[in-house]
Chains A and B, each alone.
Chain A
């Protein structure tokens, strides 16, 4: 009887762990940019976008300075 119980329990654990493994492999199938990142080249994109944004902000600061000059002029 005890033998039967342990058998059933092991059987159930095996099924559960199998399901866990398949669930994990399903998660792994979802494609993320990990490969792209590991090659290091995504940083180029980050750099480009950052350059654009910093450029826009510098432009805004220059407009701000110009308006300040106009305000002080009067």
Chain B
């Protein structure tokens, strides 16, 4: 896996996919819909942020489980760096969502279960980082935060994807609303959307591995000193 991190073909692939999704996202054909108008193109940019965040949190939880099995320090480092980059994508998703909501719903933050769920999920992962900083001893920190992380992940999934579906929500894909893919996304949009999602996920993983590798170099330096 470490050699995979150092290969560049998937990084180039991610970059090319993001760039082509920008061009096709601006210029490609989209369905003509009231209220949304051209803002439907935001699907190509707002939604991939959340998909990348979920992927990074999933990587984090996998490495937390691995850490509890192996007790290897590197697994803990991977888990925390995945959350660090995941939170970056989470904030980008929140900001772009608020800008979009301001135009289409008339309010950047209507008290919507999907939005409030995402806010709680964000706080939960910020708490993960605070928890880590609060614990001094390295092994204890790794172990406790790994357990916290394993609990946080399913709660995040419930808050973002299950609870909003059970109540009324403005957000597409929640509370009886159809998702964009059911109703509005025609087959012209689909390839662009998936290109954007995969491109941004690869980019997120790339940034995560950069941070991870930097931490490893740092640790090796500290050992030598």
Which residues from chain A contact B207 at a C-beta distance below 8 Å? 60
Q: Does B141 contact A (CB under 8 A)?
A: no
Which residues from chain B contact A45 at a C-beta distance below 8 Å? 26
Closest to A52 in B: B22
Do A37 and B210 touch across chains, with their CB atoms under 8 A apart?
no
Bound together, the chains give a CA A46 to CA B38 distance in angstroms of: 14
Within the complex, what minimum Cβ distance (angstroms) separates A73 from chain B?
8
Do A67 and B11 touch across chains, with their CB atoms under 8 A apart?
no
Given contacts A32-B37, A60-B206, contact A67 B26 (CB under 8 A): no
Do B27 and A68 touch across chains, with their CB atoms under 8 A apart?
no
Which residues from chain B contact A57 at a C-beta distance below 8 Å? 15, 18-19, 203
Given contacts A32-B37, A33-B38, A71-B213, contact A64 B11 (CB under 8 A): yes
8 Å CB contact of B22 from A32, A42, A50, A68: A50
Which residues from chain B contact A60 at a C-beta distance below 8 Å? 11, 15, 203, 206-207, 210
Do B15 and A30 touch across chains, with their CB atoms under 8 A apart?
no
Do B32 and A30 touch across chains, with their CB atoms under 8 A apart?
yes
Q: Does A12 contact B (CB under 8 A)?
A: no
Within the complex, what minimum Cβ distance (angstroms) separates A37 from chain B?
7
Q: Does B214 contact A (CB under 8 A)?
A: yes
Which residues from chain A contact B214 at a C-beta distance below 8 Å? 67, 70
Do B217 and A71 touch across chains, with their CB atoms under 8 A apart?
yes
With most chain A CB atoms within 10 A of its CB, the pick from B22, B26, B30 is B26
User: B121-151 vs A: 1/0 string, CB under 8 Å?
Assistant: 0000000000000000000000000000000
Q: Does B190 contact A (CB under 8 A)?
A: no
Which residues from chain B contact A43 at a C-beta distance below 8 Å? 27
8 Å CB contact of A30 from B6, B34, B210: B34
Bound together, the chains give a CA A33 to CA B29 distance in angstroms of: 11
Do A61 and B27 touch across chains, with their CB atoms under 8 A apart?
no
Which residues from chain B contact A71 at a C-beta distance below 8 Å? 6, 213, 216-217
Closest to A65 in B: B8
User: A26-54 vs B: 1/0 string, CB under 8 Å?
Assistant: 01001111000100001101100110011
Bound together, the chains give a CA A32 to CA B31 distance in angstroms of: 10
User: B18-45 vs A: 1/0 string, CB under 8 Å?
Assistant: 1100110011001011100110000000
Do B8 and A70 touch across chains, with their CB atoms under 8 A apart?
no
Given contacts A30-B33, A32-B38, contact A54 B19 (CB under 8 A): yes
Q: Does A63 contact B (CB under 8 A)?
A: yes
Q: Does B69 contact A (CB under 8 A)?
A: no
Do B38 and A67 touch across chains, with their CB atoms under 8 A apart?
no
Bound together, the chains give a CA A37 to CA B29 distance in angstroms of: 11
Closest to B6 in A: A68
Q: Does A5 contact B (CB under 8 A)?
A: no
18 A–B pairs (Cβ distance < 8 Å), ordered by A: A27-B32, A30-B32, A46-B26, A50-B19, A54-B19, A57-B18, A60-B15, A60-B207, A61-B11, A64-B11, A64-B206, A67-B213, A68-B6, A70-B217, A71-B6, A71-B213, A71-B216, A71-B217
